[in-house]
DNA sequence: TTGTACGCGTTATCAC
DNA sequence: GTGATAACGCGTACAA
């Protein structure tokens, strides 16, 4: 059981040539006698022959592999996203390899290079800190199709996106309607474009309604993590806001802890709304009001588009926009008077 | 921009032979003039040359790849575990490919086969539903080293384990000391061995202290997910327990929601203790008392042992046991009288 | 109906 | 110091 059989050995054992074996095993053996076909198949089982992937791939040059780069698998958003990718990949008989870049450009570059050297046919990049340098040098130069998440609608590659502007607007609508006039946004300093659009949509709506509803908006910058949300609590309190727009659910959940620790009640003392729609939202207390993105669908679609691009390199830019919607739960209410 | 550069092209561009390039890039180029060395390196960057893994591996025959199978990336436990794996893998210049088996034996078998056909050098299997059939047929037959998590201490392969018996005992000690005498365990029906040891350790301690403290224990079976925990709430209430031992943190968090929805307060009405020590524990309200496992260290160690096994196939069984400890937070307190 | 011979991109050997 | 060449295992045009 020491060693793997080669096609040559199989051919010898069956008393035929390697061509015969290759053709038959690859479904192109119609022209051979059913006798030979059977013989080859029998010996295959007997020797437990499995084609050497490397040798095969060296010729065919399609590894049926896609690389996936996310910033942080710990965020349930990305595990759902990956689940979607895994599902569709299997459907198309691709194998997705995913890595957590941990917001470290060097690490991302490292994984990217490995993936490419291993013949990845394409990449899904959901990592914000990827540098355009890496992109150009590593992907474009190697002619590897890729799909960027969370990036500017103006980029020229294939895209799966959600309407972040609308999402921001929905947040504003909801909070204004509840009667909030002093709102604080908690977001990261170097925000990705999609987040900037969220904020933009939000602010635009505030301005649009300003004629009737004079409103004050504060912005607090913290890292895009539970910890970041947690640590923003004091600043949120200081801002005297009656409602907080946490730019994603992770931050919102961190904020929960921070506010609670400072003795504030949600939503009685301050309303909190998140963004993403991770499944945890229903489990925290109070259940988190949020803007829901169809996360795993985003992963599925990204995979579909990418595979389509791999198979048809020359088609036009593919852009799909998925809907977002407000899920009202228990973390937002009218402000105290 | 059309295609991946080959070593041949790089050699031509630099005006040297492929041998020269290969040797220099593989650190065996001492004998070449530093002039040539620099030239080659420069052109590598310029052309962004990355060696073709397939061709390379065809000769060297070590893919430096490990496959990882987890039941559910959505559980933060496994994302931490994977983070540990990723870290050590990189240190040893291995690349880990991880897949979520979703507790589906067929799916697990599928990924296992793909990974092997792609030359994975070893596997870390943290999936409970893996069948011994798959194990024998797919791994043993191909002489692929593997490491099983969550399995019986009696298995004969390499192991990273924690002392679940002790963990269970710590839970019992804690609850008994607080004064609880009616405790309910929430756990999955087809539990893995490590979970069974948790329960065993727990019950053994109850029995051990029974002389002084007469105690009643109920067991409720639900799937090992937030949802499972959520759905156990009514049964927990019916059991009239003053404390619940949720067999992992996910279930505990689900239970939080269920109990809250039924109008019960934690820990005032009922204490809850979890198991794992995921980072979310500090963020839920009340912060969850739990038994902490050194999760990412487990991933790191698993990787170290596996790589060691790959490099030294004949060494004796490797077993490492990591410590667990009780983290007391706010979800457990003395029962109401 | 079957087999020969070449090429895929790389590394190792050995000659220059 | 440097380079030609064989070999890794497989798929396929082309011959027979």
Instruction: Dump pLDDT digits (tens) for B130-158.
Output: 777 777 777 887 788 999 997 776 677 89
Average pLDDT, chain A: 92
Under 8 Å between Cβ of A114 and A333: no
Q: Answer yes or no: is A102 CB < 7 A from strand D.
A: no
Q: What residue has its CA nearest to the C1' of D3?
A: B17
Give the full edge-to-edge strand order of the sheet including A319-322.
A95-100, A65-70, A122-125, A146-148, A158-162, A319-322
SS3 A51: coil
- Decide if pLDDT at B242 tops 80: yes
Alpha carbon B277 to chain centroid distance?
Answer: 13
* Chain B neighbors of A58, CB-CB under 8 A: 52, 54-55, 58
- Give B205 to chain A, closest Cα distance, Å: 32
CA A20 to C1' D15, in angstroms, rounded, equals 15
pLDDT of residue B64: 92
Quote the strand ranges of B118-232, DSSP E: 122-125, 146-148, 159-162, 182-187, 216-221
Kindly list the distances between the CA atom of residue B221 and the CA atoms of A33, A42, A106, A250, B252, in Å, as whole numbers in the listed order: 58, 47, 46, 30, 13
- Decide if pLDDT at A1 tops 50: no
What residue ranges define each of the domains in chain A, with the CATH number in brackets?
7-60 (1.10.260.40), 65-162+295-324 (3.40.50.2300), 164-293 (3.40.50.2300)
pLDDT of residue B283: 97
pLDDT of residue A246: 98
Under 8 Å between Cβ of A299 and A76: no
- Give B260 to chain A, closest Cα distance, Å: 8
pLDDT band of residue A4 (cuts 50, 70, 90) is confident
Mean of the pLDDT values across residues A50-67?
A: 89
Which chain B residue lies closest to A5 (C-alpha atoms)? B142
Packing angle, helices A7-14 and A18-25, rounded to 10: 110
Q: What is the Cα–Cα distance from B269 to B58, expressed in whole angstroms?
A: 64
- Give B129 to chain A, closest Cα distance, Å: 18
pLDDT of residue A337: 76
Residues, CB < 7 Å to strand C: A 15-20, 31-33, 35-36, 55, 58-59; B 6-8, 18-19, 22-23, 25-26, 28, 49, 51-52, 55-56, 58-60
- Give A266 to chain B, closest Cα distance, Å: 12
Q: Answer yes or no: is B107 CB < 7 A from strand D.
A: no
Under 8 Å between Cβ of B161 and B322: yes
Give nucleotides in strand D with any atom < 7 A to a protein C-beta.
1-5, 7-13
pLDDT of residue B321: 94
Kind of pairing between the strands at A65-70 and A271-273: unpaired
- DSSP percent split of chain A into helix, strand, coil, nearest 5: 45, 15, 40
Tokens of A189: 């300093």
pLDDT of residue B1: 40
Among A84-88, A210-214, A234-238, the minimum mean pLDDT is found in A210-214
pLDDT of residue A31: 85
Q: What is the Cα–Cα distance from A263 to A260, expressed in whole angstroms?
A: 5
pLDDT of residue B19: 93
- Return residues 141-160 of B near A (CB < 8 Å): 141-143
pLDDT of residue A131: 75
Mean of the pLDDT values across residues A189-205?
A: 94
Interface check B257 vs A, CB under 8 A: yes
Q: Do B48 and A114 touch (CB under 8 A)?
A: no
* Chain B neighbors of A142, CB-CB under 8 A: 3-5, 48, 50
- Decide if pLDDT at B334 tops 60: yes
Render pLDDT for A124-159 as a digit per residue (tens, 0 to 9). Answer: 999 877 777 777 777 887 788 999 997 776 677 899
pLDDT of residue A297: 97
- Give A73 to chain B, closest Cα distance, Å: 6
Residue position matching structure tokens 């009001």: A289
Under 8 Å between Cβ of A337 and A269: no
Sign of CA dihedral A51, A54, A58, A62: positive
Q: Do A143 and B119 touch (CB under 8 A)?
A: no
Q: Answer yes or no: is B58 CB < 7 A from strand D.
A: yes
Which chain B residue lies closest to A260 (C-alpha atoms)? B285
Q: Which helix (H) or strand (E) holds B63?
A: none
Residue pairs between chains A and B whose CB atoms are closer than 8 Å: 131
Mean of the pLDDT values across residues A181-209?
A: 95
Q: What is the Cα–Cα distance from B134 to B141, expressed in whole angstroms?
A: 10
The length of chain A is 337
Which chain A residue lies closest to B254 (C-alpha atoms)? A283
Under 8 Å between Cβ of A71 and A194: no
* Chain B neighbors of A110, CB-CB under 8 A: 90
Mean of the pLDDT values across residues A74-91?
A: 96
- DSSP percent split of chain B into helix, strand, coil, nearest 5: 45, 15, 40
CA B29 to C1' D1, in angstroms, rounded, equals 10
- Return residues 234-253 of A near B (CB < 8 Å): 253
pLDDT of residue A146: 92
- Decide if pLDDT at B113 tops 90: no
Q: What is the pTM of this model?
A: 0.93
Interface check B74 vs A, CB under 8 A: yes
Mean of the pLDDT values across residues A93-109?
A: 91
Which chain A residue lies closest to B280 (C-alpha atoms)? A226
Which of B50, B54, B284 faces A54 most closely, judged by CB atoms?
B54
Render pLDDT for B310-327 as a digit per residue (tens, 0 to 9). Answer: 999 889 999 999 999 999
Q: Partners of B186 in the beta sheet? A: B220, B246
Among A266-275, B31-40, B324-333, the minimum mean pLDDT is found in B31-40
* Chain A neighbors of B69, CB-CB under 8 A: none
Count of CB atoms within 10 A of residue A310's CB? 18
Q: Answer yes or no: is A53 CB < 7 A from strand D.
A: no
Q: What is the Cα–Cα distance from B195 to B182, expressed in whole angstroms?
A: 21
Interface check B92 vs A, CB under 8 A: no
Given its phi and psi angles, is residue A64 left (phi above 0), alpha (psi -120 to 50 degrees) or beta?
A: left
Residue position matching structure tokens 């309407």: A163
By C-alpha distance, which of B287, B211, B250, B332 is closest to B77?
B250
Q: Partners of A160 in the beta sheet? A: A320
DSSP B138: I
Q: Which helix (H) or strand (E) holds B44?
A: helix B34-47
Q: Give the rounded percent of residues in chain A with a pLDDT score beyond 90.
A: 70
Kindly list the distances between the CA atom of residue B13 and the CA atoms of A162, B18, B30, B37, B191, in Å, as whole numbers in the listed order: 45, 11, 21, 14, 61
């Amino acid at each position: 059981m020491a060693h793997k059989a080669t096609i040559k050995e199989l051919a010898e054992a069956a008393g035929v040539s390697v061509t015969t074996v290759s053709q038959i095993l690859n479904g192109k053996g119609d022209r051979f006698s059913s006798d030979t076909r059977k013989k080859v198949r029998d010996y295959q089982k007997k020797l437990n022959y499995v084609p050497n992937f490397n040798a095969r791939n060296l010729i065919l040059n399609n590894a049926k592999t896609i690389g996936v780069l996310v910033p942080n698998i710990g965020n349930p958003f990305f595990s759902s996203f990956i689940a979607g990718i895994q599902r569709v990949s299997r459907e198309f008989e691709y194998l997705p390899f995913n890595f957590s870049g941990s917001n470290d450009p060097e690490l991302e570059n490292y994984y990217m290079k490995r993936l490419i050297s291993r013949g990845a046919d394409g990449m899904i990049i959901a990592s914000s800190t990827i540098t355009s340098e890496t992109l150009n040098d590593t992907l474009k130069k190697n002619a590897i199709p890729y799909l960027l998440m969370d990036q500017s609608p103006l980029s020229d590659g294939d895209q799966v996106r959600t309407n972040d502007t609308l999402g921001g607007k929905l947040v504003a609508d909801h909070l204004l309607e509840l009667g909030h006039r002093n709102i604080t946004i908690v977001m990261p300093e170097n925000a990705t474009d999609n987040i900037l659009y969220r904020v933009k949509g939000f602010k635009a709506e505030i301005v649009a309604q300003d004629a009737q509803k004079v409103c004050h908006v504060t912005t607090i910058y913290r890292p895009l993590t539970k910890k970041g949300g947690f640590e923003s609590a004091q600043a949120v309190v200081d801002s005297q806001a009656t409602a907080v727009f946490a730019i994603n659910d992770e931050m919102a959940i961190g904020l929960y802890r921070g506010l609670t620790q400072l003795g504030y009640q949600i939503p009685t003392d301050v309303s909190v709304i998140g963004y993403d729609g991770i499944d945890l939202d229903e489990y925290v207390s109070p259940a988190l009001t949020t803007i829901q993105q169809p996360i795993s669908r985003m992963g599925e679609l990204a995979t579909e588009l990418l595979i389509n691009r791999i198979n048809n390199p020359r088609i036009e830019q593919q852009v799909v926009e998925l809907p977002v919607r407000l899920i009202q739960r228990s973390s937002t209410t009218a402000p105290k008077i």
